[in-house]
Amino acid sequence: MIRGAVKTIKWNLVKWSLLTIFVSILFMDRPAEAVTVHRDLWTVTIGGCEVGTVADPADFAPVLRQARRALAAENEGMVFLKAEPEYSHIEGTGFPDGEEVLKDRTKETLKACVITDLQPSYAVKIGDFLVYLSSAEEVRQLLQAALDKYEPEGNFRVGLVRDADRTLRTLTSRVEKREEAVTTASSLLPASGVSAEIMAEKAAEIPAEQMDFGDFDLGVLDIDFSRRVEVTEGYAGSSQILSLETAVAEATLEEAVPDIYVVQPGDTLSQIAEKVNIPMDRLVELNPEKLESTASVIRVDDRLTITVPEPALSVEWADLEYAEETYDADIVYVDRDDWYTTKTNVIRQPSAGFRRVIAESYYLNDRLQGREILKEEVVMEAIAKIVERGTIIPPTYIKPISGGRFSSGFGKRVSPTKGASTYHKGVDWATPTGTTVFASSGGTVSKAGWGNGYGYVVYIDHPDGRQTRYGHLSRILVSVGDKVSQGQTIALSGSTGVSTGPHIHFEILIDGKQVNPLNYLD
């Protein structure tokens, strides 16, 4: 029995010794903070690469931050990474990796996730235009280059200031007149404080018209950017950051920008084309709904789409100028209450005059926007043009049917019906026989009957001298001499005369000549 007890004691000693040796070997290379045995572990992967195990996913967040900082320290500028850790649960007990081991493995794994090295930069945004420069001084030089194009004397300087309405990292531009360029009271420049009061008093003492031409300080009065400039401090890829020369070229490159021209009294299409520096054919292309050709009629207050060259970094500026110039006197109009507004008659042709002026001119880039004459000396008086014009609003014209399918336009046509002209003098709408046809405008019926190729036709003479014609009718409901009003029923549609099927043929004549009706319908 003693032998059995001794044997048991020896076996227990052997077991405990072996267990001690095993535990010592197991914990030999592990740091002190990782010796705790955990029942649940999580495997961490980044970009598909396993970096180690943690006891809790929350434990990896500080490790990832340290690895990011270590990687950034090895690169110039800011490192942008596309890496999000993923966690998967491991069942059973085990030991998590130590923090230093995890950090080193994570940093090595992150190197494969680097997208680009971001450099400190300044983003200049003007509308939809965006450009990146490497320093605030380069931004200032870019803006200054745009100003100097129109004010080469260098009397105005652009600076960057914090934008009070935006974040602390957002700047905007401010243009100021250099102190050494501040002019005397005769310059008419706006000012503030005591200076403004003194200048206002002196200006009141000597009105501009009483000053001599040599008393004015000529040159740029004011200048600024026409659109808001936003400058944001941040980071950008090295390939996005431009050189100053390239940025200036892109920001000042003129590109076509849509604009609107409102037709003024006396305007013709050719005059407008010359005024806005756009060929007449191009004006027609830009305005298909209003202009069919270069011969189309335009009306006062019509709004025509035009394109103007304009850079992203556009500049508004005012200039005080001296000029010796020819000028035209304002047109003198003589109203005729018995004429329509479409009728005019020139009584006297104009003759240009000659004058010396001091004028304040307002520009958008190179384009003159407005002008105010401050002092004028007429050398030779201009003779005004005298024009008679009507005051009666002319009648309007409407489509002569409701509905219908537009089937033939005005002008040349290919392979017309046998017996029909190759030049279509009106427009057609296909519509079933018997559709109501009404007067496009009020007037007097001058013809109602058969009209050869027209078939049954109605002519109406209108007070403004125009005439409308309605052809291929199946039935006429008015007689010669009848007074009709706009929209009154005059006939039913049909397919009489030279016709390929039921439709209404409609014409408008001015001075006895057919014109495209679509240009005159409301």
Shared domain check, 494 and 447: yes
Indicate if 113 and 132 belong to the same structural domain: no
Based on the fold, state whether residues 131 and 231 are members of the same structural domain.
yes
Specify the CATH number for the domain of residue 479. Answer: 2.70.70.10
* Same domain for 89 and 174: no
pTM beyond 0.75: no
Average pLDDT, the chain: 83
Contact 192, 161 (CB under 8 A): no
SS3 state of residue 441: coil
Write out the residue range of the structural domain in which residue 453 sits.
Answer: 405-519
Is 9 a member of any domain? no
Number of domains in the chain: 3
Dihedrals phi, psi of 3, to nearest 5 degrees: -60, -40
Residue 303 reports pLDDT greater than 50: yes
3-state secondary structure 343-398: CEEEEECCECEEEEEEEEEEEECCEEEEEEEEEEEEEECCECCEEEEEEECCCCEC
Tell me if 364 is assigned to some domain. no
Tens of pLDDT, residues 431-475: 999 999 999 999 999 999 998 889 999 999 998 889 999 999 999
**Which of 99-113, 157-171, 382-396: highest mean pLDDT?**
382-396
Nearest in space to 252 (alpha carbons), one of 308, 311, 173: 311
Q: How far apart are CA 8 and CA 371, in angstroms?
A: 118
The residue out of 58, 86, 117 marking a domain boundary is: 117
| Confidence band of 56 (pLDDT split at 50, 70, 90) | confident
Q: How many CB atoms lie within 10 A of CB 6?
A: 10
The more confident residue out of 416 and 112 is: 112
Last residue in a domain, options 93, 117, 141? 117
In a domain, 160, yes or no: yes
pLDDT value, residue 6? 46
Check whether residue 187 and residue 110 sit in a common domain. no
Looking at residue 453, what is its pLDDT? 87
Of 251, 276, 305, the residue at which a domain comes to its end is 251
In this predicted structure, the answer to whether residue 47 has a pLDDT above a threshold of 90 is: no
Residue 107: band (very low, low, confident or very high) from pLDDT cuts 50, 70, 90? confident
Residues 440 and 468 occupy one common structural domain: yes
Percent of the chain with pLDDT over 90: 43
